């Protein structure tokens, strides 16, 4: 009879051990291995919203992912993939994922689900477990949660959900130790959560948190790999993070600074877990996607698409047929691996990857650990998306524990979206820095469009192809009672746009996302059903699938809403030499004026219950179209 505990121990041993047992490194590895036999993470510390953007999941996507605490796995369900295989070396994590999936399907309401995994500190959770969850759990997961632990003072493991589960596990206890050490020096870490601005968060960091790192006890702890095992940093990753320097204090200071003041606490649930040891009371603060009320029904109906296994990714893929997986999520597992293990993993990934497959991973070895370690022949099958990785890493709220986000996409065949994104990134990598200055004189009619938007108070406004966010900033300042959103296919442009929005103090008023104008879904990107105003400003002429973009815009236009478009016209009233010269010049930048816009938009509008009006200002240099959808 196979002993699953023995098999799990062997898998973990193979993942962690690199040195002789009696060496210093070998002893540290074995201690780390021992810690990972139990529950390490009750919440995953990778940002699932960054994952979702990088993965670009489709309804037919088949995903293989490391499970960890399961927040990522359940959050991926909000994007409606076809199948998720969740893998983990820890039987405790397998049991936690199975419990979360069972709770999503069996608990009667979002309130009950949130009480169990959001608040996680109510005796009612234990009654719900015994009555609604336990009878349906697999035997191994049921045995784990029914089991008693010395760490729980003889209580059943399930009892942590009546005593704030987020204070348990290796990381939860480590965070508690950090709070206790801070209190010894007179610092209450929870105070940062009361900050009303990023400036107040930074003040707290510089006056309260940063000085803690200079205390003797903290200096000793950060210089000792053993003391950081509570963060889930294995010996191999510790060396990569320190960059050959045994003192990790500088690295951890940068990560702690990012966690404390890199993002508003109103948007960063990782900060609530680190500094508050819980989510905000009554679900009033930020939450991972799977815990949000608006996603509960979708998660509940899709849990049967997830299978949770105690396997390594390499082991699982070895049993899969060729070209059967679309997406891979490695977290930071490669930082644990030897070169031989990395090559074995990517051999299986490359064999099992379907066309247009995508791999995302995090690593302490910025920007990527693969060159020089992965066989060049294997690496040649993949394209590293440097611009996307840089932008996503900058927005990763979790990067406090030293991880960068990297994405890879298979070279052949490249998707239309990937090709368009690569073209736009290449075109604007340098131009974006001077874009607004150079375009002011010939992108005519932009401000006229903004002046005519006139969105109702409280309504939502989307710009498709937002570029540097110049228009969004002007519009948000003109209509402070509306909510603004922007999408763009270029990561390079979005990087500039986010800096511009933050610089103007509009981070709470303008939300941005990477998306294709022809396929975007606002529910997945922003959690909203549609918009009362949508506008495109000199972006339609750069979209290969411009008719599909128009159709998509009308799809998400609310009843009574308006679609506004300004772009290059046919220059019919201007000299022929000007028209010919302008179009030849525009062609150099992959710009093609849409002379059929009026006809195409009129037809699409009629099918969608909308009326179209078109003007040709500046003697036909530009065309300005408004498509008004009839009220319901």
Q: Which domains does the chain have, with CATH numbers?
A: 1-36 (no CATH), 100-295 (no CATH), 432-629 (3.40.50.150)
| pLDDT band, residue 400 (cuts 50/70/90) | very low
pLDDT at 164: 94
The number of angstroms, rounded, from the C-alpha of 349 to the middle of its chain's C-alpha atoms is 22
Q: How many Å apart are CA 289 and CA 72, to the nearest integer? A: 9
The model carries a pTM of 0.69
User: Mean pLDDT throughout 31-38?
Assistant: 64
What is the residue-averaged pLDDT of the chain? 84
379 close to 408: Cβ distance less than 8 angstroms: no
Q: How many Å apart are CA 167 and CA 161, to the nearest integer? A: 10
Least confident of 70-79, 270-279, 344-353, 411-420: 411-420
pLDDT at 409: 39
Q: What percent of the chain has pLDDT over 90?
A: 45
Ramachandran region, residue 61 (left: φ > 0; alpha: ψ -120 to 50; beta: rest): beta
* HSE toward the beta carbon, residue 382, CA cutoff 13 A: 27
Q: Which residue has the higher pLDDT, 514 or 164?
A: 164
Which letter does DSSP use for residue 155 in this model?
-
User: Mean pLDDT throughout 121-133?
Assistant: 96
Look at residue 230 and tell me whether its pLDDT is greater than 60.
no
484: CB partners within 8 A, 6+ apart? 460, 461, 462, 463, 472, 475, 476, 506, 509, 510, 511
User: Mean pLDDT throughout 323-336?
Assistant: 89
Q: What is the pLDDT of residues 407-440, one digit of tens each?
A: 443 333 334 455 555 555 555 555 554 444 545 5
Least confident of 22-31, 423-432, 554-563, 616-625: 423-432
531 close to 561: Cβ distance less than 8 angstroms: yes
pLDDT at 379: 85
Q: Look-up: residue for tokens 């991972």?
A: 288
Q: Is 341 helix (H, G, I), strand (E, B) or coil?
A: helix
Residues written for the chain? 632
| pLDDT band, residue 404 (cuts 50/70/90) | very low
Look at residue 596 and tell me whether its pLDDT is greater than 60.
yes
- In DSSP terms, which residues pair with 84 in a beta bridge? 63, 306
* HSE toward the beta carbon, residue 522, CA cutoff 13 A: 22
| pLDDT band, residue 612 (cuts 50/70/90) | very high
pLDDT at 386: 74
Q: How many Å apart are CA 590 and CA 424, to the nearest integer? A: 9
Q: What percent of the chain has pLDDT over 70?
A: 81
Q: Is 23 helix (H, G, I), strand (E, B) or coil?
A: coil
290 close to 97: Cβ distance less than 8 angstroms: no
Q: Is 534 helix (H, G, I), strand (E, B) or coil?
A: strand
pLDDT at 30: 63
Q: Report which of 72, 277, 90, 71 is spatially closest to residue 174, judged by C-alpha positions.
A: 277
Q: Which residue has the higher pLDDT, 189 or 282?
A: 189
């Amino acid at each position: 009879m196979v002993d699953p505990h023995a098999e799990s121990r062997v898998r973990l041993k193979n993942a962690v051990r690199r040195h002789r047992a009696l060496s210093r490194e070998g002893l540290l590895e074995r201690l780390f291995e021992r810690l990972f036999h139990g529950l390490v993470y009750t919440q995953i510390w990778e940002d699932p919203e960054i994952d979702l953007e990088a993965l670009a999941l489709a309804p037919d996507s088949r995903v293989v992912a490391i499970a960890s605490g399961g927040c990522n796995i359940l959050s991926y369900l909000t994007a409606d993939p076809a199948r998720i295989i969740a893998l983990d070396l820890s039987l405790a994590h397998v049991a936690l994922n199975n419990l979360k999936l069972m709770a999503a399907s069996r608990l009667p309401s979002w309130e009950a689900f949130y009480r169990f995994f959001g608040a996680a500190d109510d005796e009612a959770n234990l009654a719900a477990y015994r009555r609604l969850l336990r009878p349906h759990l697999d035997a191994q997961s049921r045995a784990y949660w029914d089991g008693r632990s010395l760490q729980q003072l003889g209580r059943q493991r399930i009892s942590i959900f009546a005593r704030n589960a987020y204070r348990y596990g290796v990381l939860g206890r480590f965070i508690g130790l950090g709070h206790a050490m801070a209190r010894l020096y007179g610092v209450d870490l929870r105070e940062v959560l009361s900050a009303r601005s990023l400036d107040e968060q930074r003040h707290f960091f510089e006056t309260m948190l940063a000085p803690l790192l200079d205390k003797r006890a903290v200096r000793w702890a950060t210089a000792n790999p053993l003391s950081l095992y509570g963060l889930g940093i294995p010996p191999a990753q510790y060396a990569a993070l320190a960059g050959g320097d045994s003192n990790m204090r500088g690295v951890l200071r940068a990560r702690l600074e990012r966690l404390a003041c890199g993002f508003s606490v109103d948007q960063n649930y990782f900060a609530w877990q680190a500094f508050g040891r819980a989510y905000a009371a009554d679900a009033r603060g930020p939450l991972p996607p799977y815990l949000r009320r608006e996603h509960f029904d979708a998660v509940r109906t899709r849990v049967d698409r997830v299978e949770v296994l105690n396997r390594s990714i390499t082991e699982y893929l070895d049993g899969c047929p060729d070209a059967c997986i679309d997406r891979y999520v490695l977290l930071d597992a490669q930082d644990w691996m030897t070169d031989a293990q990395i090559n074995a993993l990517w051999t299986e990934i490359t064999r099992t990857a379907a066309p247009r497959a995508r791999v995302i991973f995090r690593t302490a070895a910025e920007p990527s650990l693969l060159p020089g370690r992965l066989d060049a022949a294997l690496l040649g099958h993949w394209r590293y998306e440097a611009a996307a990785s840089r932008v996503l890493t900058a927005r990763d709220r979790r990067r406090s524990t030293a991880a960068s986000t990297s994405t890879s996409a298979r070279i052949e065949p490249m998707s239309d979206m990937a090709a368009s994104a690569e073209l736009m990134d290449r075109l604007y990598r340098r131009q974006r820095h001077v874009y607004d200055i150079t375009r002011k004189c010939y992108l005519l009619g932009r401000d006229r469009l903004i002046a005519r938007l006139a969105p109702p108070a409280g309504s939502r406004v989307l710009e498709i192809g937002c570029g540097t966010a110049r228009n969004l900033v002007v519009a948000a300042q003109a209509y402070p009672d509306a909510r603004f959103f922007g999408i763009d296919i270029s990561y390079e442009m979005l990087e500039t746009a986010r800096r511009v929005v933050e610089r103007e103090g509009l981070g709470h008023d303008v939300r941005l996302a990477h998306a294709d104008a022809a396929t975007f879904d606002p529910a997945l990107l922003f959690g909203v059903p549609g918009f009362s105003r949508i506008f495109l400003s000199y972006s339609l002429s750069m979209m290969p699938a411009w008719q599909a973009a128009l159709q998509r815009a009308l799809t998400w236009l609310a009843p009574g809403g308006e679609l506004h478009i300004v772009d290059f016209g046919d220059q019919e009233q201007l000299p022929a030499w000007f028209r010919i010269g302008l179009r030849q010049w525009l062609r150099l930048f992959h710009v093609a004026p849409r002379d059929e816009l009026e006809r195409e938009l009129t037809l699409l509008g009629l099918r969608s219950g909308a009326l179209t009006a078109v003007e040709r200002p500046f003697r036909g240099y530009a065309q300005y179209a408004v498509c008004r959808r009839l009220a319901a």
